[in-house]
Structure 1
């Protein structure tokens, strides 16, 4: 039995993890805030990195030190019913009801909109998404091979393609950073704005979802003792977040420098297309198409694998291939029918889940200090859940959020500190933890799980 991985194996797992995280959204976010922040890009990027790579890394560490197989096992520290509901909701939202369909539609729109016009025939999207999910499903059929598919093949291809544009942009900059104009949102407190931009990447949710892949991959490489798995998880996660941080920073800088030739774009996808075409002409659009498709495909493979492995754990009577097939089919259908409505319904669920995910990560990190006491997990989670529900209600469609009952609940929640920036859950979470910790201390008989 192995006690540790080789450096090469750690690098491959770190590459795989980076590949799972780094989809098209991660590619275009830093470009956009780089343009918007202008000469404040450095301090904005620092705030962005705190949440864009800091929270996911904490999630990876939480999975590692918890000595569990993944999200469901950690969530049972609250209670088993909560664990089922929270796990299923999280995987449905970052799986077939939101993230997976969006991967297909985003890659289609960015890669082909310039060739097919702003309103292409729906049949083109249907054909593309069918091929996209067939490929993703094919790669996902053998989860034992995900390290090879993503860590050793797809991610290096993605990095080489992206690296070509990055090198050209740095060697021949379109403008200077120090005189780049700053948009209003990034003038007063650029660090906080970057912090919130990174918060919205939702990678903290993904870190919990991908935990099961990391742990199972390390076990398949021969490391099976929980303490050793925890150590190797953290080492591989560190490699991944360092790589993400470097690329985020480079893309943000390139976004700022692009203001020397272009006006600020509506989103980072447009900016990336302009930059690619500036340096490589029409070949740049072809290269961009390849970058986007590979970025989305590798994340799709990871999401299908994580979803299927987790649901096989939750419902052991069903097999992995059945779940992989079902999630691929549902994602294909949603990508082509009513995605806009699904997104509108998914955003409130994301706003509801994110505070619960962050508190679960932090509780897991400090769990030893209160001997994994259920009462601490429960009071923190239940009180946070109230504030998270208000955040979800606030982000709901107008037909819900403007109803008299919803308005009164939202107005009550607005008195919480940081509520105006979507972080009204912070104080309730702290209060919940303090109450639980006091009860734990008074009991003097910690409930150890």
Structure 2
């Protein structure tokens, strides 16, 4: 008899998954989006929810649907070498390079910095991140207990505290929603769509999906159909909580402009809102929420990275990787939140299209019998577009003049590729080549 996942178990794993997703960027980016998009908040949030909730949900399902044991196995449909490179870069991006250090930086900037007074901010950041990543390292040493530690205890507290803050903004709005600011005036949906990249959740979903499946296996769910059904159930729980919190925080940001004015980043928006409603107790409450949310995400990311790199380099123990990645995160976090966010942008512009193509083809693969030619051509097409976008973003970031060849290619892309200027220029070319090659494979196989 096939074992089915109970509702309570689905809720526990779904809340655990929500907590793994819900970290640094999930708090600060929707608040900033709400402030800047104003009366266009809901249009912008539609785009944000597409990449910040919809794609992570599809990523979780893709892992369950594919039947593959991990992301590298799934990406090997393109090429074994590509699979190792893509998976390694993705893990490093959501791990020690950007996302994991960002958790410590955000926790410090919002949860600790407002209380420092005249204390040295650099020394305080060093001491805090030392403790933060020390705790993360300790909790990551035994990943088998991650469901109990995260899903049952920390996650519900995060949800309760955040919903309490959001409820106050609904009961007593801070002001009327103001006019939108650039770049949300002309294309709020596309700006929100790209803003969802910053959460890195679609990338993380291809990693967290494995954590969910391992948790299901531990509960005795091994049948492929039941794994897919159970994954969908837990994904719905996580996606539902994410969407509610995102919309609430965006509304909080949108209604705060009349009272606070335009603030620099989502962190001050949340801090001042908490102080407005609850005073100094509100700031402490917010600090607790921030640190819990960021800590749970850091644990998930360090655990996932340690397990993956131990699997490809078994000579180095899992615990050694956890220690190394935790230490690396500590160093990067002390460069500051703004630098971490800025320098992650070119990498995300490159990786997100590649991840979205893999997710898309995973679901449509049965139509062309998982032919590798379709995967390869679609992936190369996405890379040719996103690589140029990433280089342009990098040169803009370092304020350097682009090389002439890059300028020529970029101008041609702007002229000939639909939606390139909106940041999703890869979409139409990938759809075209996927349909053409998929049709060719279908006709050839039929003959």
TM-score normalised per structure 1 = 0.92
Contact 1:378 1:436 in 2 (8 A): no
Aligned equivalent of 1:431: 432
Contact 2:75 2:358 in 1 (8 A): yes
Q: Tell me the secondary structure at the aligned position of residue 419 of structure 1.
A: coil
- Structure 1 residue 62: Cα displacement: 0.6
199-208 vs 310-319, which moves further: 310-319
1:274-329 deviation line (CA, Å, top 9, x unaligned): 10010111111111111111111010001011112222333334332222121111
Aligned equivalent of 1:150: 150
1:159-199 deviation line (CA, Å, top 9, x unaligned): 2222232222222222245xx33335334443343333334
- Structure 1 residue 368: Cα displacement: 1.1
Q: Tell me the secondary structure at the aligned position of residue 100 of structure 2.
A: helix
TM-score normalised per structure 2 = 0.93
Aligned equivalent of 2:275: 277
Asked if residue 331 in structure 1 is aligned to residue 341 in structure 2, the reply is: no
- Structure 1 residue 245: Cα displacement: 0.9
Go from structure 1 to structure 2 and tell me whether the alpha carbon gap of 1:432 and 1:335 turns closer, same or farther (over 3 Å shift).
Answer: same
Aligned equivalent of 1:298: 296
Q: Tell me the secondary structure at the aligned position of residue 421 of structure 2.
A: helix
Aligned equivalent of 2:220: 222
- What is the alpha-carbon distance in structure 2 between the residues aligned to residue 50 and residue 338 of structure 1? 28
1:330-356 deviation line (CA, Å, top 9, x unaligned): 111222358876665543222111110
- What is the alpha-carbon distance in structure 2 between the residues aligned to residue 225 and residue 291 of structure 1? 37
Go from structure 1 to structure 2 and tell me whether the alpha carbon gap of 1:119 and 1:321 turns closer, same or farther (over 3 Å shift).
Answer: same
Go from structure 1 to structure 2 and tell me whether the alpha carbon gap of 1:104 and 1:214 turns closer, same or farther (over 3 Å shift).
Answer: same
- Structure 1 residue 116: Cα displacement: 2.4
289-298 vs 245-254, which moves further: 245-254
Q: Tell me the secondary structure at the aligned position of residue 186 of structure 1.
A: coil
Go from structure 1 to structure 2 and tell me whether the alpha carbon gap of 1:33 and 1:335 turns closer, same or farther (over 3 Å shift).
Answer: closer
Q: Tell me the secondary structure at the aligned position of residue 214 of structure 2.
A: helix
Structure 2 unaligned blocks of 5 or more: none
Contact 2:31 2:266 in 1 (8 A): yes
Aligned equivalent of 1:183: 181
Contact 1:400 1:406 in 2 (8 A): no
- Structure 1 residue 118: Cα displacement: 9.1
Contact 2:59 2:359 in 1 (8 A): yes
Q: Tell me the secondary structure at the aligned position of residue 210 of structure 1.
A: helix
402-411 vs 290-299, which moves further: 402-411
Q: Pick from 263, 266, 269: which aligns with 1:265?
A: 263
- Structure 1 residue 212: Cα displacement: 1.5
Go from structure 1 to structure 2 and tell me whether the alpha carbon gap of 1:206 and 1:430 turns closer, same or farther (over 3 Å shift).
Answer: same
Aligned equivalent of 2:74: 74
Structure 1 unaligned blocks of 5 or more: none
Q: Tell me the secondary structure at the aligned position of residue 440 of structure 1.
A: helix
- What is the alpha-carbon distance in structure 1 between the residues aligned to residue 293 and residue 343 of structure 2? 25
- What is the alpha-carbon distance in structure 2 between the residues aligned to residue 401 and residue 71 of structure 1? 37
CA RMSD in angstroms comes to 2.3
Aligned equivalent of 1:253: 251
- What is the alpha-carbon distance in structure 2 between the residues aligned to residue 418 and residue 244 of structure 1? 27
- Structure 1 residue 69: Cα displacement: 2.2
- Structure 1 residue 386: Cα displacement: 1.0
Contact 1:66 1:74 in 2 (8 A): yes
